[in-house]
Chain A
Amino acid sequence: KNQVEQSPQSLIILEGKNCTLQCNYTVSPFSNLRWYKQDTGRGPVSLTIMTFSENTKSNGRYTATLDADTKQSSLHITASQLSDSASYICVVSRSGGSYIPTFGRGTSLIVHP
């Protein structure tokens, strides 16, 4: 069964601290993995995309890693800001067909001042 599991479910950190979110998946055959940021009451916005051959990709203070062998990805946020408070969703797409993605439940991040 194609699944995407994220941990932790929620996380509270102080402004300025770093944090790492995890994503494990069983989706196969694998095409790509995206991390999205979803602010409360808004639609998700893409942060990064990882394909099979990529191990690390950065977007500003966000750094995503991918281990295709163990089917794990992480999203590291450096020097967190209050505006980072949001839900972070891991989305994995299968190859072939219409690339229908499988969504994780998300990690709810709260950054306190």
Chain B
Amino acid sequence: GAVVSQHPSRVICKSGTSVKIECRSLDFQATTMFWYRQFPKQSLMLMATSNEGSKATYEQGVEKDKFLINHASLTLSTLTVTSAHPEDSSFYICSARVSGQLGNSPLHFGNGTRLTVT
């Protein structure tokens, strides 16, 4: 159980276009989802915390107008990279916690999205 599905797994887009990444909890409800960015051989860097029905909380240095997050339901959060540039090329991962569980419960991760901006 506790499966998180992330789509697409890979996407290539042209500079200036926007890309939407979906993160779905398939068999549980997730009040909170997290979005990360990971560069090669680097750790996951938290970008934002997505809360169902409210505005996302962004980490310092992350542009909220560039990385739009929508968490409209308890099973779906989306990350839209607007006006993508080559420097936005990275591995984006989402994670979710089962609603109602304690904060020390595990994070369930999606399989990530490899974004390449040409």
Q: Which residue numbers of A lie inside 8 Å of B, CB to CB?
A: 31-32, 34, 36, 41-46, 49, 51, 89, 91, 93, 95, 97-101, 103-106, 108
Residues of A within 8 A of B45 (CB): 103
B60 within 8 A of A: no
Question: Number of B residues whose C-beta is below 8 Å from A?
Answer: 22
Question: Do B46 and A100 have beta carbons less than 8 Å apart?
Answer: yes
Residues of A within 8 A of B103 (CB): 31, 93, 95, 97-99
Counted as pairs of residues, one from A and one from B, with CB atoms less than 8 Å apart, the total is 54
B13 within 8 A of A: no
Q: Least Cβ distance of A36 to chain B in Å?
A: 8
Give 9 nearest A-B pairs by CB, closest first. A99-B103, A43-B109, A105-B43, A46-B106, A32-B104, A103-B43, A103-B44, A43-B111, A42-B111
Q: Least Cβ distance of B27 to chain A in Å?
A: 16
Q: Least Cβ distance of B93 to chain A in Å?
A: 5
B25 within 8 A of A: no
The CA-CA distance from A91 to B104 in the complex, in Å, is 11
Residues of A within 8 A of B106 (CB): 34, 46, 49
Tell me which of B42, B46, B110, B114 contacts A105 (CB under 8 A): B42
B49 within 8 A of A: yes
Residues of A within 8 A of B4 (CB): 43
The CA-CA distance from A38 to B59 in the complex, in Å, is 23
Of all chain A residues, the one with the shortest Cβ separation from B110 is A43
